[in-house]
A and B are shown apart, each in its own frame.
Chain A
Amino acid sequence: MTGSTDGRAASSSNCWKIIHIPDKPPIPPDNQPTTIVHAAAIEPQHANTIVRKLNQIAPLENLRHVKRVHKRCLDEGKIQLFVVLCMAPENDGKCNHMPEEVLELVTLYQLSTFITKVCTYAASTKEEWEEQCKLWPTSFHPPTYNIDGITGFSEEDSQSIFRFMKFAVSLAKSGVGSVVNAAVIVDPSTMQVIASSRDQVLSCNTPIKKNNGETCCSRLSEATQYDTIETEDRQSLLSKCSFNDAKLTYNCVSCLNPWSWLEQKLHTGSGSWHPLQHAAIVAIENSAARERDLFPMNGHIADEFVHEDYKALSPTGSPWKRQKINLANVKDDENMNCQKNGLRSDSSRPYLCTGYDIYLVWEPCTMCAMALVHQRIRRIFYAFPNSSDGALGSVHRLQGEKSLNHHYAVFRVLIPVDVLKSEALFAITAENG
């Protein structure tokens, strides 16, 4: 399943779209709750003085996202400034009451006041923010800081996101007919596929993984070692899932139906199966296996590793600790060899999946979504929602659970459903870096 992006496939991406799935359930952008305020037009030369005074006598305590001053361009290039004076009491039909000090200011500058609406809550998406500014300008701080993409993707970024999603979909379909979920973990800084997997709940070929780190010490020859789908796997998967010949069913997608592992028909009696080996869980283990191989642990590093966990999460965490670890790794022969083989372009040891993205065909179930929190994934891209057990907005919304110690950004890649049927569209796969 290797090939390259040809013109036809590239043009088929034109209708694809990436949307951010925010931390809280979205409100229709044009239907956001509003608050009534007193406002007035002001002369530009008085603006600084008036705003400074107002910030003292009538601070907008619960409306910090609302900009105090609204600049409007009039005809002939003239500019008119408006200012929010204070909140207007909601229960009063006339809304005439203003604090004494504000009234004094109004009299002093001979302001003619009016009532207007501003949005009550800060925008959580760009769409909400754009709609808010039609009423009165607000400031917009993307809810998850320092994560690329929340305010939009460049054309180049979008194309690589589509490319990896296509790889995930082709993996999901690689069982020839029986579609399952698939996961692809990517290092976006190098565009390298770190690990990938299909669901293995019903797979007969992959043995239950060894938990023992020592068993995975074979020298890494190529990155695809950590992609669990292999040619013979694909052949044998043909008969493993019950599926309807005439029409495509999604019964084998483990995250859509985690409790169905018992009900699925298994055609062959031999081989292993595992109710918890959803694609994301297996991909996480594959990426961990890769890390164990590239950076074998010794006592000294083990110690550092524990500390690193605190550092990574501590607000006072400083880069020196990471550099120290890098030095330790440079001395490491195994690591040096791997670098000579060109497997890693930098010497920094990964910490779990920090900084990595994961592509999933379906929105992950609660178990998988929490596993991705534990493994510190940075961004999740999924194509289809999961109304039965999806944990990124459908049933739960883990990216919005404040108590969790890590938060990823979540994006849905809108793609036509028939890509799961159409063979032609997925004649391509992602190329590694």
Chain B
Amino acid sequence: MVETQEDTICFMNLAIEQARLALDSLEVPVGCVIVEDHTVIASGRNRTTETRNATRHAEMEAIDMLLEHWQKDGLSREEVASKFSRCTLYVTCEPCIMCAAALSIIGIKEVYYGCANDKFGGCGSILSLHMNSSEKLTSGVSKKKGFKCTRGVMASEAIDLLRSFYEQGNPNAGRVNTVFTLIQPQSLTESQCKGSKQFDTSCRGAVMKNVTCLRSY
């Protein structure tokens, strides 16, 4: 079964819901959901301030949630790997280099994200780890795994949340650099892009230059 555009918008709305929860907790508003067979099986939001751990990004939270559940259910590593390979992540902001590497390690199938992350994005902005696939090189080194990646899904909503966080929290917001960029929806792996999908038409073609941020979320 192929995911429709409505499905994609629906799942990204749930990710934005998670980002709002982060905003309510004074965290940088980034949220995500993980979907398997058209069902949301995990969600996550940024918790870096609460945990004092700057690596507790939404994606890591959602991955850990799944690993905990699946291990409680007694799934073997083979079963877990096979499940991850059927999962799609919807996240409001481009996965950073760390999260993109983590998604590659667990072997996720596909990622949809909203706005680009010009400072430390790992799915096209700074590095392109989603294209990180390799053949098995030498014995003892495992095959690297890439994943399909589509960007620009409801990017303006994601950016609005980030902007409201930085505007309420930082009086100097106007003086700092643009970090998150609103971009036109497009698939990042050209070879896998079959025709141009169009998502939220309200954000097409727009590029925000005033969204500000200095911290890593």
Contacts and interface: CB of A to CB of B under 8 A. Distances in A.
Interface of A: 208-209, 211, 213, 249, 251, 256-263, 266, 269, 272-276, 281, 284-285, 288, 291-292, 297, 302-303, 305-307, 309-310, 313-314, 316, 352, 365-367, 370-371, 373-376, 388-389, 396, 398, 401, 403-406
Contacts of B60: 276
Given A313-B214, A374-B55, A388-B141, A403 B118 contact: yes
A375 B54 contact: yes
A236 to B, nearest CB: 17
12 contacts: A208-B67, A208-B71, A249-B140, A262-B77, A275-B105, A276-B60, A288-B53, A310-B170, A310-B172, A373-B120, A375-B55, A403-B118
Contact of A211 (B64, B170, B214): B64
B163 interface: no
B141 A257 contact: yes
Contacts of A211: 47, 51, 56, 61, 64
Interface in B50-91: 50-56, 60-61, 63-64, 67-68, 71, 76-78, 81
A306 B26 contact: yes
Interface of B: 26, 47-56, 60-61, 63-64, 67-68, 71, 76-78, 81, 96-98, 101-102, 104-107, 118-120, 122, 126-127, 129, 137, 140-145, 169-170, 172, 176, 214-216
Contacts of B49: 302, 305-306
Given A276-B60, A310-B169, 13 more contacts: A208-B67, A208-B71, A211-B47, A259-B142, A269-B76, A274-B64, A274-B67, A284-B55, A302-B50, A352-B54, A367-B98, A367-B105, A371-B98
Contact of A292 (B52, B96, B98, B176): B52
A366 B51 contact: no
B119 to A, nearest CB: 5
Contacts of A313: 214-215
A365 B129 CA distance: 12
Given A211-B61, A366-B101, A370-B122, A260 B106 contact: no
B126 A403 contact: yes
A366 B128 CA distance: 12
B77 to A, nearest CB: 6
Contacts of B120: 370, 373, 401, 403-405
Given A302-B26, A405-B119, A405-B214, A281 B55 contact: yes
B215 A405 contact: yes
A58 B60 CA distance: 56
A284 B53 contact: yes
Contacts, number: 145
B216 A405 contact: yes
A309 B132 CA distance: 32
A399 to B, nearest CB: 13
Nearest to B132: A366
A376 B54 contact: yes
A309 B122 contact: no
A266 B54 CA distance: 31
B62 to A, nearest CB: 11
Contacts of B64: 208-209, 211, 274
A354 B56 CA distance: 17
Given A310-B170, A366-B129, A374-B54, A251 B215 contact: no
Contacts of A276: 60, 63, 102, 105-106
Given A208-B68, A211-B64, A388-B141, A266 B97 contact: no
Contacts of A275: 67, 105-106
Given A403-B119, A405-B216, A258 B101 contact: yes
B55 A213 contact: no
Contacts of B48: 374
Name the 6 nearest CB pairs between A and B, nearest first.
Answer: A370-B98, A288-B53, A367-B101, A259-B142, A374-B54, A370-B97
A367 B99 CA distance: 7
Contact of B140 (A251, A306, A314): A251
B101 A365 contact: yes
Given A259-B105, A374-B54, A375-B54, A310 B214 contact: yes
A375 B96 CA distance: 14
B172 A307 contact: no
Contacts of A403: 118-120, 126
Given A266-B77, A273-B77, A370 B215 contact: no
